[in-house]
Amino acid sequence: MQQERRGFRFEFYDPKEKDPFDKLFDIFKELITHTSGDFDEAINWLRELDKEYKLTTPDYTVDDFIEDLKQRGYIREEFDPESGQDGDGSGDQSGRFSITAKTEQLLRKHALEQIFGNMRKSGAGNHKTGKLGEGDAHSGDFRSYRFGDGLDRISMTESLRNAQINHGMGNFNLTEDDLVVEDTRFKAQMSTVLMIDISHSMILYGEDRITPAKKVAMALAELITTRYPKDTLDILVFGNDAWTIQIADLPYLKVGPYHTNTVAGLQLAMDLLRRKRNTNKQIFMITDGKPSCLRLKDGRYYKNSNGLDEYIVEKCYTMAAQARRLHIPITTFMIANDPYLQQFVDEFTEANQGKAFYTGLKGLGEMIFRDYDANRRRRIK
């Protein structure tokens, strides 16, 4: 019987229709980030988008989506005891919804995938240096076996190859002189402080600068906690003053009616890093404006938003030089393009011997990741 010949059959790609929940959930994750965790505002935006783009159907509405969010543990309903609402939600008034810790973690993962792409998790969690030794990062360099080398360091492939060359196949013999060890590299831990400017200028001129900065912080936090768990990341915000925030606070981060106290942020960052035992320390600073505020010794604030105030600027240069003496490089990510501000950042960077990037919002995350990845490959001195 003659066999039928089969060839390739080409068809247009027909992607599978997304589940209605997943389709809305992708949009919801973006909206809840933009609204700083305000569920009601995010849903209002979703309803407006639904009216314009017909995201839902009569079989699956936004209300069905909210119910699914609740059933899957992404939101929780909170009730005010003073309103007379009972705990099971059976009263006349409905409770207020808020996102859960499960959603907060999912937002960090979503930001990581958006900015850095899908990356494999690694249990090592350390950072390479240029020194060879008994580490756990393969270097690709081989040397002769020395007494005291662990058996797990021996490269069997190279050692057997040497045995064949030295003794021949007829009388195979493996001696100590044939053994080859692959060198590994020491790894160093990294302590990073991420400074985020939350002054009012981060939302001025119709441009939302705080949301990209927030996404970068969430992505960096997820990267470090999953891929480099031995590293440390502290996140602080600075306006008129500076204070630390927890990773769980990131989705709710907002700007305030603040000036820009860069000095307070740098002081807090260096205080945090002084307590770390790691040799490698660094500061990442995301800002869009000039330093315009200082807190004086008597507690009063000295503010000047007109141009670059020489007194404030000199204090910034002093802090940059102090960080340099402590071997703490500062990488500034400037998301503004005013020439006089760039000149300030140039001089600030020179005082610290750090780095500066003048970037738009679009490439901010990729740039921070590349710098973080580059720093972990070398020893910061």
236-282 per-position pLDDT tens digit: 999 999 999 999 999 999 999 999 999 999 999 999 999 998 779 99
How many residues appear in the chain? 381
**What is the SS3 assignment for 245?**
strand
pLDDT at 91 > cutoff 70: no
E-assigned strand segments in 189-340 = 190-197, 232-238, 242-245, 280-287, 293-295, 301-303, 330-334
Q: For 20-38, b where at least 16 C-beta lie within 10 A, e where not — what string? A: beeebbebbbbbbbbbbbb
The band of 122, judged by pLDDT with boundaries at 50, 70 and 90, is very low
Query: What phi-psi label fits residue 97: left (phi over 0), alpha (psi between -120 and 50 degrees) or beta?
Result: beta
- Owner of token pair 């000095």: 263
Q: For residue 52, with 0-12 CB atoms within 10 Å meaning exposed, 13-18 middle and 19 or more buried, which class applies?
A: exposed
pLDDT of residue 139: 46
Cα–Cα distances in angstroms (integers) from residue 182 to residues 35, 103, 198, 349, in the given order:
52, 44, 49, 40
Entry pTM: 0.74
Residues 304-362 have pLDDT tens digits of 999 899 999 999 999 999 999 999 999 998 887 778 888 899 999 999 999 988 876 67
CB-based contacts of 64-70 (< 8 A; 24+ apart in sequence): 64/20, 65/20, 65/21, 65/24, 65/25, 65/28, 66/97, 68/21, 69/25, 69/28, 69/97, 70/97
Higher pLDDT, 80 or 192: 192
Q: What is the DSSP string of 101-153?
A: HHHHHHHHHHHHHHHH-S----S---EEEEEEES-SEEEEEEEE--TT--GGG
Q: How many C-beta atoms lie closer than 10 Å to residue 83's C-beta? A: 10
At 141, is the pLDDT very low, low, confident or very high (cuts 50, 70, 90)?
low
Highest average pLDDT, of 94-98, 137-141, 166-170, 330-334, comes from 330-334
- Confidence bin at 137 (pLDDT 50/70/90): very low
Residue 233 reports pLDDT greater than 70: yes
pLDDT digits (tens, 9 = 90+) for 173-185: 888 787 888 766 5
Which spans in 155-261 are helix H?
156-167, 210-227
CA nearest 263: which of 301, 210, 233, 208? 301
Per the DSSP assignment, residues forming a β-bridge with 295 are 301
Q: How far apart are CA 313 and CA 292, in angstroms?
A: 9
31 phi/psi in degrees, rounded to 5: -65, -40
Query: What is the pLDDT averaged over residues 58-64?
Result: 96
Residues in contact with 241: Cβ distance below 8 Å, sequence separation at least 6, in sequence order = 261, 264, 295
* 8, burial (CB in 10 Å: exposed 0-12, middle 13-18, buried 19+): exposed
The 8-class DSSP code of residue 381 comes to -
Residue 192: CB atoms within 10 A of its CB come to 26
